[in-house]
Chains A and B, each alone.
Chain A
Amino acid sequence: MEALLLDLALGAYLIATLAAGVTLLQPNLKATRLGVLALVAGFMLGSVVLLVRSLRLGALVLSGGAEQVALFSWLVVGIYLVVQLRSRLAALAGLVGPIGFIGALAALGSSEQPVDVPELLRSPWLPVHITLAVVGDAAFALAGLVSAIYLWQERQLKARATGKALARLPSLETLDRLSFRLLAWGFLTLTLSIMAGALWAELAHGRMLNWEPRTIWTVVVWLVYALLLHGRASVGWGGRRAARLTIVGFCVLAVSLVGVRLLAPGSHSGAYG
């Protein structure tokens, strides 16, 4: 049942990606609509699977890398759809589609492994901590994507180059503002996630912070984004510089997500990390 739903979700994301590709090459209202609708369908299917699994498990499904990837991409698609409601960003669907696809694939791969959740980790603060962290990561990832599109569009405009695809992209101003908003929301959720995590650590281990690599990296990530937001809000950084820093910020985040998990052991790298 879950596998079938996930197969359907895979199909939906594939359609969304193809439709976005078509739109980019040859502006086409029908394809644009189809793409967004397919993303909505994929997102709904993903939501159902997530709900079913979590109910069966009695806890939020976060039992390891694949599940987190699935949750992460589910959120990226979700946030994208919310953004799409307000500003027309069909161009982004071409990038969000594959992310959703990978997420559904990860969920499919991890579908047969119900994990026994240790009693220690059954605190309500843990899922809050992890959920907020993944929401923040998803927002930062989208901010990075938006910034990448910004840089591309900016370079084209500077070079006075034109192209069909360019005409379908949102304006520099729109992209810049969107990236800023995503950063702000991401930063807020990241901060809340750190607080929830500290609270949980305090309750579970009696310590607010354990200085393991992942925690340190997270603090680095938090500082990078804090600096970036400060620069944007009060120094007036914007445009190219802000876009580049947003991408740098996401790279640091990616290192903390992937690299630390693989290389350095700790409470964040286990089945529940």
Chain B
Amino acid sequence: MNALGAKGRVEKLRRPRRDGELVVLGVSHHSAPVELRERITVAPEHVGAAALRMRETLRAREVVVLSTCNRLEVIAITELADPLEAFANELSRSHDLPRLGLDHHLYLHRGRAALRHLFRVASSLDSMVLGEPQILGQIKKQFRQAAAAAAAAGGLKRCFDRAFRVGKRVRTETAIGQLGVSVASTAVELATRIFDDLAEKTVMLVGAGEMAELAARHFRRAGAHGLIVVNRSFERAVELSRVFGGTPVPLERIEPYLHMADIVVGSVGGAGWILGPAHFTEALRLRRRRPMFLIDLGVPRNFDPAVNELEGVYLYDMDDLDRVAQEHREQRSGEARKAEVIVEEEVERYFRQLSDGEVTPTIVALRDKAERIRQAEVERALHSLPDADEASRAVLDAMSNAIVNKLLHGPLVALKELAREEAAVVEEAAEMVRRLFALEGETPLLPTALVEGEDDEGG
């Protein structure tokens, strides 16, 4: 090994490695109600610009902003001690939200947990509809936008490339994508068993709360076009109609509209039965007995259960939907488990490759240090022995070499074997070795190694 190369490596070890850490900051359907989520959406075409802004806010090296219906996430490599605080401040400022209490709806993952989260999102394990297929494409597109805006580069690219691979692997190796799971998507799925083409169907929302909105979104995504929003508060009906492009109707005027609806979603809270067999008998007559699909999400229920006795009426309440969804979930929980295993494997693999990178410098540093000590001591010994001939020098050299090699043999072999261990063990052991031998390097911070190319500058 030439002295220069060794020196360069030692230098690198000494340099503080805290270039930043991989973090995921976000707000999603797991953490926040739809009222909040819908206020902080970023239009998908603006994620590049948003990433640049976030890079500023988080004083980050690289940032990717991910925006879908159910989540806004910032994936960054940052040195900031409290990125959540900065994130919350920025959200509050830019979206005009009260800062107080906002933290409760946000989450932060760091390092390994951040990478796992990214993998889970890419595999749609974190989605509202487990196994939904769009998420991977969305992430790809938005990463490219961040990269194009120069907000993301090599470090995040490695994470994202791997996330894409994990997402694809989960999709091909498990059957997770075959059925929708959530209650709303179950309702849509049931509708497709009754109706041929949802595009020609009209959905009536009775009640305009969060569940209604969720249902509307799912049915819209499935292609349903017509929408009638019935609500006690007419203003809210108008508001929701505007969002989805529907017709607002006040609750007391529902009857003349009922027969136009193929799918009726009831979600009025605390109202009791709003519609009974008489209403639907009349509606069925007017619509010439074409079938009607009723989804009762109200608590207490909105439709008289006797309605299900009518021919051509299919009534499902919350429990029915949940049971159907549950069956699917059970059918597929095996698939979800398989997918989680894949994610875990990939996280492990990613960090193992990094830990190879951690062990090697430790080995090199240890050898280098021993070599330097040996050379210095040989030098000193020769100073005290000015008359030593070539043969004596050689003996001295060989002896010191043998001592060093024999002494280091155990630790070096152990370190090499260590590289096969789990990342956390490697981290710990490598640090122990550094401390025992006073190698002076900082404790390696795993995600720093995500920053590509940086280490090659040679200090």
A binds B: yes
Interface residues of A, Cβ cutoff 8 Å to B: 27, 153, 157-158, 160, 162, 164, 166-167, 169, 171-174, 177, 236-241
Kindly report which residue of chain A lies nearest to residue B189, judged by CB atoms: A167
**How many B residues touch A, CB cutoff 8 Å?**
24
CB distance from A233 to the nearest CB of B (A): 12
CB distance from A228 to the nearest CB of B (A): 15
Partner of B178, one of A27, A153, A157: A27
A169 to B189, CA, bound (A): 12
- Once A158-B308, A160-B324, A162-B324 are accepted as A-B contacts, the answer to whether A172 and B193 lie under 8 Å apart by CB is yes
- Once A162-B324, A167-B179 are accepted as A-B contacts, the answer to whether A239 and B193 lie under 8 Å apart by CB is no
- Once A158-B308, A158-B314, A162-B324 are accepted as A-B contacts, the answer to whether A172 and B291 lie under 8 Å apart by CB is yes
Contact A160 B291 (CB under 8 A): no
Partner of B194, one of A162, A167, A172, A236: A172
Partner of B312, one of A164, A166, A171, A239: A239
Q: What residues of A have a CB within 8 angstroms of the CB of B288 in the complex?
A: 236, 238
Contact A173 B195 (CB under 8 A): yes
Contact A171 B311 (CB under 8 A): no
Q: What residues of A have a CB within 8 angstroms of the CB of B179 in the complex?
A: 167
Kindly report which residue of chain A lies nearest to residue B320, judged by CB atoms: A160
Q: What residues of B have a CB within 8 angstroms of the CB of A177 in the complex?
A: 196
Partner of B192, one of A164, A171, A236, A239: A171
* Contact flags B193-219 to A (C-beta < 8 A → 1, else 0): 111100000000000000000000000
Q: What residues of B have a CB within 8 angstroms of the CB of A167 in the complex?
A: 179, 189, 193
Residue B316 interfacial (CB < 8 Å): yes
Contact B323 A238 (CB under 8 A): no
Residue B415 interfacial (CB < 8 Å): no
Contact A157 B190 (CB under 8 A): yes
A174 to B327, CA, bound (A): 25
Q: What residues of A have a CB within 8 angstroms of the CB of B291 in the complex?
A: 172-173, 239
Contact A157 B308 (CB under 8 A): no
Q: Would you mind naming 20 contact pairs between A and B with Cβ atoms under 8 Å apart?
A: A27-B178, A158-B314, A160-B324, A162-B324, A162-B327, A164-B331, A166-B193, A167-B179, A169-B193, A171-B195, A171-B196, A172-B193, A173-B195, A173-B196, A174-B196, A177-B196, A236-B289, A238-B289, A239-B289, A240-B312
A162 to B189, CA, bound (A): 11
Contact A238 B193 (CB under 8 A): no
Kindly report which residue of chain B lies nearest to residue A161, judged by CB atoms: B324
A240 to B193, CA, bound (A): 15
A177 to B193, CA, bound (A): 14
Contact A157 B314 (CB under 8 A): yes
List 7 A-B pairs, minimum CB-CB distance, nearest first.
Answer: A173-B196, A236-B288, A160-B320, A174-B196, A162-B324, A172-B194, A171-B196
CB distance from A132 to the nearest CB of B (A): 30
CB distance from B331 to the nearest CB of A (A): 7
- Once A27-B178, A239-B312 are accepted as A-B contacts, the answer to whether A157 and B193 lie under 8 Å apart by CB is yes
Residue B290 interfacial (CB < 8 Å): yes
Contact A239 B331 (CB under 8 A): no
Q: What residues of A have a CB within 8 angstroms of the CB of B311 in the complex?
A: 239-241
A174 to B194, CA, bound (A): 8
Q: What residues of A have a CB within 8 angstroms of the CB of B193 in the complex?
A: 153, 157, 166-167, 169, 171-172
Kindly report which residue of chain A lies nearest to residue B317, judged by CB atoms: A160
* Contact flags B171-198 to A (C-beta < 8 A → 1, else 0): 0000000110000000001101111100
Kindly report which residue of chain A lies nearest to residue B321, judged by CB atoms: A160
A157 to B193, CA, bound (A): 8
CB distance from A236 to the nearest CB of B (A): 4
Contact B324 A171 (CB under 8 A): no
A153 to B193, CA, bound (A): 9
Kindly report which residue of chain A lies nearest to residue B308, judged by CB atoms: A158
Kindly report which residue of chain A lies nearest to residue B319, judged by CB atoms: A160
Which B residues from 248 to 292 make CB contacts under 8 A with A? 288-291
A69 to B63, CA, bound (A): 71
Q: What residues of B have a CB within 8 angstroms of the CB of A174 in the complex?
A: 196
A160 to B193, CA, bound (A): 12
A240 to B289, CA, bound (A): 11
CB distance from A184 to the nearest CB of B (A): 18
A166 to B193, CA, bound (A): 8
Kindly report which residue of chain B lies nearest to residue A164, judged by CB atoms: B331
Kindly report which residue of chain B lies nearest to residue A27, judged by CB atoms: B178
CB distance from B289 to the nearest CB of A (A): 6
Q: What residues of A have a CB within 8 angstroms of the CB of B308 in the complex?
A: 158
Q: What residues of B have a CB within 8 angstroms of the CB of A238 in the complex?
A: 288-290, 312
CB distance from A96 to the nearest CB of B (A): 21
The interface centre, meaning the residue of A164, A167, A173, A236 with most chain B CB atoms within 10 A of its CB, is: A173
Q: What residues of B have a CB within 8 angstroms of the CB of A171 in the complex?
A: 192-196
Contact A173 B194 (CB under 8 A): yes
CB distance from B277 to the nearest CB of A (A): 15
Q: What residues of A have a CB within 8 angstroms of the CB of B195 in the complex?
A: 171-173
* Contact flags B292-326 to A (C-beta < 8 A → 1, else 0): 00000000000000001001101010001001100
